[in-house]
Amino acid sequence: MRYAVDLGGTHIRIAAAESGCNWLHQHRARHEGRMTPEEFIEILAGLTRQWSGGAAEAIGVSVAAVVDENGKLFGAENLGWKDVPLRRLLEEAFSCPAVVETDVFCGAVFEAQEGAAKEAGSALYIAIGTGVGHAFILNGQVWRGSQRGANAFGHLVTDPQGSRCYCGNRGCMCTIASGLAQAGTAPSDAPLEALGLAIGNAITLIEPERIILAGGALNQPWFDLAALAELLPRFSYPAARQPQLVRSSAADPNLCGALFLSMEKS
Ligand SMILES: [Zn+2]
């Protein structure tokens, strides 16, 4: 049995499958950002005992953090984890191959292999949840940046006079258009405009064939896919071709991508 984990800022999801992302078992719980790495491994160990007699063939973990090529977390603010060698801890605890990857890169791996980017030569994947992340996909490969940090779409500055972002800069898009920024606020045009401005600039820069949108904030009242598509020509270079703008077809692209990455490893 293969295990996939989506370790988010407030929730943890764990699923198991024999092949592909056809989940045979699923577990979801809130952790409120107070779970230690040791507690996480204990939860996973409990589920492997319950679901597959304690054995795991491989483990893929999607996490809201910057992760190095060895599966070490540099800082997961929502979890309060810093410099945690999570892949090594998992491989020692379960005696099987493990992969740990930034959540938005996992989602993009799913889109490249089985989702909306499968038939496109180039695509920009944007996940709008509590924060906003992205990954660029070219010919089936996910570009992660020179130091694995090319994932922070929400920190494109769309209003230099805007409010201070937790990253230290001022006027980042995610201070206006994100699940966190818009939670409980009255609907207005501002978040869609900020998102349109950021995406319009991305079109000018890379002219992708498709833009794939995912994440829970797409269900908030401010988000409107058709209105967003109408905004984009205003914010992008007129000679750049407008991309197809689509929603992710998967309910859980991060989990599926983490599973696919574990399959590449084992
Ligand atoms: Zn920021």
Whether 114 maps to a domain, the answer reads: no
Is the overall model pTM greater than 0.85, yes or no?
A: yes
Ligand 1: distance of its center to the CA of 164 in Å? 8
Return the percentage of the chain with pLDDT > 90, whole number: 83
Which of 1, 214, 28, 18 lies closest to 115, judged by CA?
Answer: 214
Ligand 1: distance of its center to the CA of 177 in Å? 12
Whether 225 maps to a domain, the answer reads: yes
Cα 173 to Cα 31, 125, 163, 211, 226, distances in angstroms:
27, 16, 10, 17, 20
Please check whether residues 60 and 165 belong to one and the same domain. Answer: no
Mean pLDDT is lowest, of 21-30, 75-84, 161-170, 202-211, for 75-84
Whether 96 maps to a domain, the answer reads: yes
Please check whether residues 55 and 150 belong to one and the same domain. Answer: no
pLDDT bucket at 80, cuts 50 / 70 / 90:
confident
Return the percentage of the chain with pLDDT > 70, whole number: 100
Whether 113 maps to a domain, the answer reads: no
Ligand 1: distance of its center to the CA of 173 in Å? 7
Whether 134 maps to a domain, the answer reads: yes
Please check whether residues 213 and 229 belong to one and the same domain. Answer: yes
Whether 149 maps to a domain, the answer reads: yes
Ligand 1: distance of its center to the CA of 6 in Å? 23
Please check whether residues 33 and 147 belong to one and the same domain. Answer: no
Q: Which domain holds residue 9?
A: 2-105+253-265
Please check whether residues 126 and 95 belong to one and the same domain. Answer: no
Whether 220 maps to a domain, the answer reads: yes
Please check whether residues 154 and 239 belong to one and the same domain. Answer: yes
Q: What is the pLDDT of residues 147-196, one digit of tens each?
A: 999 999 999 999 999 999 999 999 999 999 998 899 888 889 999 999 99
Please check whether residues 91 and 128 belong to one and the same domain. Answer: no
Ligand 1: distance of its center to the CA of 45 in Å? 36
Please check whether residues 129 and 242 belong to one and the same domain. Answer: yes
Whether 219 maps to a domain, the answer reads: yes
Q: What is the pLDDT of residues 34-51, one digit of tens each?
A: 899 999 999 999 999 999
Please check whether residues 97 and 123 belong to one and the same domain. Answer: no
Fill in the DSSP letter of residue 157.
Answer: B
What total of structural domains would you count in the chain?
A: 2
Ligand 1: distance of its center to the CA of 166 in Å? 6
Please check whether residues 158 and 46 belong to one and the same domain. Answer: no
Please check whether residues 136 and 79 belong to one and the same domain. Answer: no
Number of other CB atoms surrounding residue 183 within 10 Å: 10
Please check whether residues 94 and 48 belong to one and the same domain. Answer: yes
Look up the CATH number of the domain holding residue 219.
3.30.420.40
